[in-house]
């Protein structure tokens, strides 16, 4: 029975990697992971620069658009106010006439 145990132990020892091989493969694996992390970090930094640039362009476009819209609305309001004031004076008699007409119809 001891011979069987010894032969099993020897077989198990042969399948186990030697410490130097384990250390070497572990170092290679760590180096690969380190390289991949560096590449991904560089990609992320480049992507951040691109995204920041795009965001800055969009913000500038939005600010310009807001100025344009504000200017258009302000100009439109000025024109509408000027136009409304002239119309108010013209239409005031019409409102008065219709009011008089309504009042005269109620009396009947």
At 49 the pLDDT is 87
Question: pLDDT tens-digit profile of 68-107?
Answer: 888 888 787 777 766 555 555 555 555 555 555 555 555 5
Q: Is 35 domain-assigned?
A: yes
pTM of the full structure? 0.35
- The residue range of the domain holding 90 is 25-107
Domain count of the fold of the chain = 1
- CB half-sphere exposure, 102, CA atoms < 13 A: 6
Q: Is 97 domain-assigned?
A: yes
At 73 the pLDDT is 80
Q: Is 68 domain-assigned?
A: yes
Q: Is 38 domain-assigned?
A: yes
Q: Is 15 domain-assigned?
A: no
At 16 the pLDDT is 56
Question: pLDDT tens-digit profile of 19-50?
Answer: 666 788 888 888 899 988 888 888 888 888 88
- DSSP for the chain reads -HHHHHHHHHHHHHHSPPHHHHHHHHHHHHHHHHHHHHHHHHHHHHHHHHHHHHHHHHHHHHHHHHHHHHHHHHHHHHHHHHHHHHHHHHHHHHHHHHHHHHHHHHH-
Q: Is 7 domain-assigned?
A: no
Nearest-angstrom CA–CA distance, 49 and 99 = 68
Task: Give whole-number Cα distances, 49 to 37, 43, 45, 54, in Å.
Answer: 18, 10, 6, 9
At 77 the pLDDT is 78
Q: Is 17 domain-assigned?
A: no
């Amino acid at each position: 029975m001891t011979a069987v145990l010894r032969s099993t132990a020897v077989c198990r020892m042969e399948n186990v990697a030697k410490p130097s091989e384990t250390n070497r493969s572990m170092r290679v694996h760590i180096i690969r992971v380190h390289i991949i992390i560096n590449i991904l970090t560089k990609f992320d930094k480049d992507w951040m620069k691109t995204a920041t640039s795009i965001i800055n362009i969009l913000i500038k476009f939005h600010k310009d658009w807001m100025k344009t819209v504000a200017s258009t609305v302000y100009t439109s309001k000025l024109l509408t106010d000027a136009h409304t004031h002239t119309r108010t004076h013209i239409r005031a008699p019409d409102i008065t006439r219709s009011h008089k007409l309504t009042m005269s119809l109620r009396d009947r």
